[in-house]
Amino acid sequence: MQKRIAELLKKNQLSITESRKKILELFQSANGALAHADIEKQSGEHFDRVTIYRTLQTFVEKGIIHTIPTADNSVLYALCKDECSAGHHHDNHVHFICDDCGTTYCLDHVDIPAIQLPIGFKAKQTDIVMSGVCKECNV
Amino acid sequence: MQKRIAELLKKNQLSITESRKKILELFQSANGALAHADIEKQSGEHFDRVTIYRTLQTFVEKGIIHTIPTADNSVLYALCKDECSAGHHHDNHVHFICDDCGTTYCLDHVDIPAIQLPIGFKAKQTDIVMSGVCKECNV
DNA sequence: TTTGTTTTGCAACTAGGTTGCAAATGCCTA
DNA sequence: TAGGCATTTGCAACCTAGTTGCAAAACAAA
Ligand SMILES: [Mn+2]
Ligand SMILES: [Mn+2]
Ligand SMILES: [Zn+2]
Ligand SMILES: [Zn+2]
């Protein structure tokens, strides 16, 4: 696990530092998306908040994580699939937020349906965020 | 036009004030969604920004306007259809942001398709935001 | 017009995020 | 494996968007 993390950083030409290792570890062991505040808490407040901001930015740029838009306009982050790289994200999947437990899921296997737009409109990207009750909280 | 605005306010049990009239007017003559900053500028900086925040909140609560989530986590507002009321929004339509001119459209006549979720997930709401080129900017 | 209620503007505050810079850490090569 | 260069970190200061308390102004009802 530790090895995989180091390799992932190397592959992206990032030096291996405590904060980067720890933050990646948090993402890999989380079962949903994480907010900046989650990381701050879960890392035991070892790192400056600025460091966390910069680490997240770097990871997004490198295609290691992607951001998830939410209805309440907070920012969430989740691991990208292997196909993503610097400047080329391929995170075309549906996101699901559980109203009950608050967990945000990347539903990688749910396809984005084609949507017929009015004449003249040409879509390049489709973001779908659903909410309701997740499989853990269901009954 | 002025009369319609006054009636809309009355129908929602809101007193008729300069700021509310002006802000409603801006929404009715806009062809897309508006951000707080747009309203601040377009109103000629006549109103305090706090007043604008509070007016927007009130309008959202009454079902006169609705918020639109965006990828860059800024907040946009647009007029609701007549069916919306306090505590009961029915704005289940697709939103479209033009990469070219920046206009955000409510596509009222585009239906949200059914999306098959993994077992155990139960959806209550679906938000779809598409982006690309709008009918004005197309060619 | 008077009176009571609602709304406004101002100032002060909060939360989330960014920037500049010196000190600390990590990487590379001898 | 130590030394030197480049990158990253932590701190302080700053910025922007949004919120709150309160007195003054505007509005609605009588
Ligand atoms: Mn995702
Ligand atoms: Mn809309
Ligand atoms: Zn849940
Ligand atoms: Zn356009």
Domain ranges within chain A, ordered by starting residue: 2-132
**Distance in Å, residue B89 CA to nucleotide C16 C1':** 29
* B128 DSSP β-pair partners: A128
Q: What residues of A are in contact with residue B122 (Cβ under 8 Å)?
A: 132-133, 138
Q: Do residues B94 and A116 make contact, with C-beta atoms less than 8 angstroms apart?
A: no
- In tens digits, chain A (139 residues) has pLDDT values of 677 999 999 999 999 999 999 999 999 999 899 999 999 999 987 899 999 999 999 999 999 999 998 888 889 999 998 778 888 888 789 999 999 999 999 999 998 999 999 999 999 999 999 999 999 999 7
Q: What residues of A are in contact with residue B121 (Cβ under 8 Å)?
A: 96, 107, 132-135, 138
> Which residue stretches of chain B have pLDDT < 70?
1
The predicted pLDDT at position A92 comes to 82
pTM of the predicted structure, to 2 decimals? 0.88
The predicted pLDDT at position B1 comes to 63
CATH number of the A2-132 domain: 1.10.10.10
**Distance in Å, residue A41 CA to nucleotide C29 C1':** 39
Strand C footprint, Cβ within 7 Å? A 15-18, 36-37, 49-50, 53-54, 57, 74-75; B 14-15, 17-20, 46-48, 50-51, 54-55, 58
Q: Which ligand is nearest to the CA of A103?
A: 3
DSSP string for residues in chain B: -HHHHHHHHHHTT----HHHHHHHHHHHH-SS-EEHHHHHHHTTT-S-HHHHHHHHHHHHHHTSEEEEE-TT--EEEEEPPTT-BTTB-----EEEEETTT--EEEETTSPPPP--PPTT-EEEEEEEEEEEE-TTT--
**Distance in Å, residue B80 CA to nucleotide D1 C1':** 70
